[in-house]
Chains A and B, each alone.
Chain A
Amino acid sequence: MSESLQMRSRLLTCRVAEQWLALPVEQLSEVVTAQMKTVIPLAPEAVNGLINLRGKILTELDMRKILHIDPDQNQNDYRTIIIESDGIENFGLTVDAVGEVIDMDTDAFERTPESLGTNWKKICHGVLKQEKRILILLDVEKIIQMSMPVTES
C-alpha cells in the first residue's frame, strides 16, 4: 500500500474501545454482524476462531485482543470487517462498531504522534485530525504481524 494511494482513498471509520480508527475501503470487502465461529485450540491469542462466510473459511482476528484491551463484557453486537487486500490472505477483524465512509482529507494527515499508546503505534501509519477526535489510520499488514504467534526461536 503506497502512501500516495492512501492519500486519495476513501476510509471506513470504526471504533475499538473509545478510539476511532480508519481503514481504506479498498482493503475490505464488507462488514458483517457477529458470525458463528469455531474456536481453534492452541491458536494465537489474537485469533477468535474460524468463521464460515458463505462457504469461505476465514480466520477472525479480534482487535481488542491484538491491542491487549480487555474485552467489553456488555458488548455482543460487535462487527466483523472482512479484509480483502492484495498479497495478504483474507481475514475477519472484529471491532466494537463501525461508523461511516469518509473521504481522505490529506490536509488533516499527520505522522503518528509520539504521545500515542505503544500498542496503537504498532498498527498505525499516521493519524487524521478531525474537529473533535483523532482517527488512527490502520495498517493491515501490521495488524497481521501483531496477531501472529510469538515464535519461540
Chain B
Amino acid sequence: MDEELLAEFLTESNENLSSIEEELLKLEADPGNAETLGAIFRVIHTVKGNCGFLGLQGLEKVAHAGENLLGKIRSKGYHVDGDMVSLLLENSDAIKTLIAGLEENGVEPVLDFSDLCVRLSAAERLIDLDGAASSEQQEAASDQLDSVAAEDVSDALAWLEGLSENAQALLAGAGFSTPESVLDAGFEQLRNIDGLKPAEALKILGLAKSRKISKEKTAEPESIVEVQETVELQEQAESEPEPPQPVPEKSEPEEVTAPVAVQREQEKPVKATRKPSAESSIRVDVALLDELMNQVGELVLSRNRLLRLVGQSEQSDLVRTCRNISQTTTLLQEKLLHTRMQPISTLWSTVPRLLRDIGKQLGKKINVKMDGQETELDRTILAAMKDPMTHIIRNSCDHGIELPALRQQKGKSEEGTISLSARQESGFIMIDIHDDGGGIPADKIRNKAVSMHVITEEQASKMSDKAALQLIFHAGLSTAEQVSNLSGRGVGMDVVRSEIEGVGGTVEIDSELGSGTTLHIRIPLTLAIIPALIVSSSEQHFAIPQMMVQELISIVPASDDWEYVAGRSFYRLRGRLLPIQFLSDALGLQASDGEKCTVVVINVGEHQFGIGVDGILGAEEIVVKPLGLHFQHLDLYGGCSILGDGMVVPILDCVGLTKELRQGHDAEIIKADREDVTAAASEDSQYILVFSLGDKWYAIPMALVERIEEILPDSIEASGRREVLQYRDQVIPVLRLAELLDVEPIEQGEIEPCLIIADQGRRLCIQVDEIVDIVQQKLEIHLDSSEDCFLGTAVIDGRSTEVIDIFEVIKKAIPNWFNSSGDRRKRQQRILYVEDAIFYRNLVLPALEGLGCEILLARNGLEAQEILSHHKPDLILTDLEMPEVNGFELAEWVRTQPAIASLPVVSLSSLEPSDIGARSELFQACVKKFEREVLLDELTRLLGRKPRDKGVAKAVIDAEVVNHDAIAGGGE
C-alpha cells in the first residue's frame, strides 16, 4: 500500500469524521435538514470511495453499509429517529475504530462488524417499509430492528427479516418464498392466507418491494449519489467548462482541507466556502510545528543573550538593530505559539455525543450549553485536558443531574443542563463546568473523609463547607452511594486533579445544595515558553514558573512570626500560617547562613506554600526542556532551561516540591487554611500600610489594599480630566492622593508607588509618594479627626501618622464609584449598625452605603434598642463589645421582641469564633472586623440579594513583591 497515500487518507478521514457525531446529533434534533444529512452522507461516501481505492475491504464494507442507509434516508426524505441515529453513530464509531487501528499498525485491523452491517441494511429496509406501510407497523418493525438483525442473511427467507417466525412459516407454507412471487400475488392473496394478519401482509409486501428495488439497484449502487453531486456542482460547472460528472468526488476532499473554516462558515452555502478555505489554509505536520517551536525557543534564548551583551554597548546602530531583532523574535514567538493553539471547541465537540450516550444509559435527560468555544489553548494542554474533562462531565451527569422524576418533584425542568464555559483571564484559561443538579452535601464528604481517616472529627467540624468540598479531590474519596459503571470507583477526582496540576493548572469545586455544582479549572495558555522567576539557594540557581507564584516576601529569620509545628516551619503571613519548605532542605543542600530569607509564596491547588530561598535573581522567559533519563525519579524538577547567560537552570516543580507538605501534613495545612484559621494574629492588631506624601506619614489598614504596585509614570494615561491606568485588562482610575489632600508632593521619581484598592470587583489606583513600611500593630486612633478624609491620628513607630479614610477620599474624588454597580432596589433596605468606636464606624459605613442601603447608626446596644422600638430595619449589624448593652445582650433582646425577633443579626467584632462559641447561635453570621469582603458577602446574602460578582477581584496571580526591607529602604 502506498504509505503516503495512506497517510493522506488517514488525516483526511480523521478530519472528516471529527465532525460527524456533531452532524448526526444535529440531524437528530432536526431530522428534516437535508443539508446536514448531505454533509454526513458525503463524509461516509468519501471514506468508502477512498477505501475502495486503497483496498481496505473491511472498512469499505462498513462504510458502504452506512452509506447505503444514509442514501436511503436521503432519497426517501425519511425523518430519522433516535434509534436510527444511534445506529448511524455506531456505524461512524466502527469506522473510527477501524481507522484508528489502521493508523496504529499500518494495516487494517481484523474486526467483525457484520452484525452492524446486517442491522444497517435492516434499517434500510425499514425505511422502504415506511414508504409503503403505515406508521404503526413502522414502529413495530423499529422495535424489532435489533432483534432481527442477528439472524442470518444468507437464509433464503432473509428478505423477510422483521417478521415473526410464525408469519414466515405461513408465507412459506403458502408458497410465497421469493419477493417476486409475493409481488406477483399482490395484497389480496396475501391477506387470504390463513392466520396471517393484515398488518403482516402489508409488511411482507413492503419487504418484497424493497428487496426488488435493491436488487435492481445493485448494478449501479451509486446512482443516487451522483445525481446529488451533479446538482451540487451545477453552479460550479457554469464557470468551469469541465463537465461535473467525472469529478464528483474530487471536490469533497477540497472542502474538508480546512475543517475549522468550514465549521465556522457552516451557515453559508457549501459552495461559497469551498474555494477560499482551500486557498487560505494548508495542512502542516504537527512534528514540523514542534520543531519550529524548538528553533524559535533557541532564537529567544539567543536573543536574550544578545540583548544582555549589547546592553553594555555604546554603538547606537548595533543597539537599534538588536531591538529590531528582539521585537521580531517576540512577534515570531507569539505567532508561532498561535499556530499551536486550537479552540477548545475541538475538545468540546465530543461532549454532546457523550451526554447523549450517558443520558440514555442513566435514563436522564441532559442538555449541554457552551460558552466561549472559540477560546484557544495550546494543543498539548488541550490533549492533556481531554480525560479530566470527560471524567468531570461523566461525574456531573452521574452524581449531579437528578433523574427526571426527581427533578420535577423539585420543581426543576425535566432536562438537566451541563454548562461549559471558557474564557481567558490574565494568561490563564478558566474553564467552568456547571451542572444544575442536586449539588454535593458538604457534610456527606466530611463524614466520608472522617470514616476514611483522611481528616479527624475535630478537623471536620472546624472545616468550612468550601474546604470540605475540596476533599473530593482526595485520593480514594467518592461519595457515590452506589458504584455505577460511569463513576464512583473512587479513583476519579484525584486523578482529575493530578492531571490538571500536571499541566500547571488548578481545579476547585463549588457546590450549592439543590441548585448544582461547578468545577472551576484554571490552566495556563501554553507550556512551551513560560515566564519564570530565577531564585538562588546555596549558591545555585533555580527557576520557578511564574504562574505558580503568588507573591514574594522577605523575612528576617529571627522574626516572631515563625512558628514550628510538628517539626515543620510555618510563617505567619497576614494572620495565616504559611507552611514553608526551605529549598536547601528539600534539595539536601548546605543551607547558607544569610541574614535574610526570601519566601516565594506559591499556589498549589487551593493551598498556599512558601518556598524559602536565599534570594531572587530576577524573572526571565524560559523555554521548558525535558530533563534526561537520570532525573526521571526526581519529582522536584519539572524540566530545565537555558538562561540568557548560557547557564543551564533546573525548573522546580512546585507540586512535587510540596508533595511532602501536602501529604504528610494535611492537618497542619487545614489548620493554616484561610477559613479555618484559629491562631490569627493577636487581638485587634492588624497590618497597617504606612506611606508618605511630602514629608508626612499617612496610614491605611492593609486589609483595604489589594496590592502595592510600582508603576512607570508613562503608563498612567489621561482620559478626559481624569487619569487612568490599564491594569489587568481593566482601565482603572488613578487618584493622586497628594492632590486630593492638598499636600505638596515630592518630585516624581522613576516609578510611582501605587496602592490598588479593590471593592466589589472594581479597582482603583491610588498614587502616593513613597511606601514607608507595613507594620503590624493595634491601630489606636488617638485624635479623632474632624476632617472628612481622615479617621484620626495614630502613633506608628513612635511617629504620629494620619490615618486616612480611604473611602471618604474615593467618594470625594469619584462620587459614583461605590454606587456604580450597587444593587439598587425600589425600596431602600435599611441596616441598623451598632458600633461604639468611631474608627470602625467610619471604616464600615462606606461599605454599607455601597450596598445602597439606608443606615441607622447606634453607638451602643441601648441606643440600638431605642431605635428598634421605632424602626424596623432589614438587618442588624452589631459590634459585640460595647458599653451599656453589649452585642450579645442586644441580640438576646432582639430575639425576645416579637416584632423583630426574626431579623437577621450579624456580629462584627474582633473576637474569634472560638471566643463566641455557642453564643454564635444568636447571630445569622459572625464576621471578623476587616474582613470586608466576607462582610459584604454575608450582608448581600442576608438581605436576600443576588450573590456579588466577584469575578474580577479574585486573588492576584503573578508575583507580588512585598519586600518589607526594600520598601523601608525607600527604593525599588
Contact = CB atoms under 8 A, between A and B. Distances in A.
B923 interface: no
Contacts of B107: none
B250 interface: no
A57 B637 contact: no
Main secondary structure of the interface of B (DSSP, over half): mixed
Interface in B272-329: 298, 301-302
Given A38-B648, A52-B647, A59 B628 contact: yes
A98 interface: no
Contacts of A52: 642, 646-648
Nearest to B650: A40
A91 B647 contact: no
Given A41-B588, A42-B588, A55-B301, A50 B629 contact: no
Given A52-B648, A89-B629, A57 B640 contact: yes
Interface string A67-108: 000000000000000000000010100000000000000000
A16 interface: no
A25 interface: no
Contacts of A36: 646-647
Interface in A24-62: 36-44, 46-47, 49-52, 55, 57-59, 61
A42 B628 contact: no
Contacts of A47: 630
A41 B642 contact: no
Contact of B540 (A41, A57, A58, A148): A41
A28 to B, nearest CB: 17
A30 B506 CA distance: 44
Contacts of A42: 587-588, 634, 636
Nearest to B584: A41
A143 to B, nearest CB: 12
B187 interface: no
Contacts of B647: 36, 38, 52
A147 interface: yes
Nearest to B542: A41
B99 to A, nearest CB: 30
B630 to A, nearest CB: 5
B630 A149 contact: yes
A151 interface: yes
A11 B311 CA distance: 46
Given A57-B640, A57-B648, A43 B631 contact: yes
B540 A50 contact: no
A149 B629 CA distance: 10
Contact of B642 (A43, A57, A89, A147): A57
Contacts of B633: 149, 151
B587 A91 contact: no
A51 B649 CA distance: 10
B630 A44 contact: yes
A42 B657 CA distance: 13
Interface in A107-151: 144, 147-149, 151
Contacts of A149: 630, 633
Contacts of B649: 38
Given A38-B647, A42-B587, A55 B642 contact: yes
Contacts of B637: 40
A3 to B, nearest CB: 25
Given A40-B637, A43-B634, A55-B298, A91 B648 contact: no
Contact of A39 (B301, B540, B630, B634): B540
B625 interface: yes
A4 to B, nearest CB: 28
A144 to B, nearest CB: 7
Nearest to A59: B628
Interface string B83-121: 000000000000000000000000000000000000000
B16 to A, nearest CB: 37
B629 A148 contact: yes
B634 A50 contact: no
B877 to A, nearest CB: 54
B589 A50 contact: no
A40 B629 CA distance: 13
B650 A38 contact: yes
Contacts of A57: 625, 640-642, 648
A74 B102 CA distance: 60
A18 to B, nearest CB: 27
A61 B650 CA distance: 17
Contacts of A147: 630
A59 B646 contact: no
A37 B648 contact: yes
A153 to B, nearest CB: 11
A93 B456 CA distance: 53
Interface string B580-623: 00000001110000000000000000000000000000000000
A58 B640 CA distance: 10
Contact of A59 (B302, B587, B630, B636): B630
Nearest to B633: A149
A40 B632 CA distance: 13
Nearest to B539: A39
A138 B444 CA distance: 63
A114 B588 CA distance: 40
B588 to A, nearest CB: 6
A59 B634 CA distance: 15
Nearest first, the 5 A-B pairs at minimum CB distance are A41-B587, A59-B628, A38-B648, A50-B648, A55-B298
Given A59-B628, A149-B630, 12 more contacts: A38-B540, A38-B541, A38-B647, A38-B650, A40-B631, A42-B636, A50-B627, A50-B648, A52-B646, A55-B301, A147-B630, A151-B633
23 contacts: A38-B541, A38-B647, A38-B650, A40-B650, A41-B588, A43-B631, A46-B630, A49-B648, A50-B627, A50-B648, A50-B650, A52-B642, A52-B646, A55-B301, A55-B302, A55-B642, A57-B640, A57-B648, A58-B628, A89-B629, A144-B629, A147-B630, A151-B633
Interface of B: 298, 301-302, 540-541, 587-589, 625, 627-631, 633-634, 636-637, 640-642, 646-650
Interface of A: 36-44, 46-47, 49-52, 55, 57-59, 61, 89, 91, 144, 147-149, 151
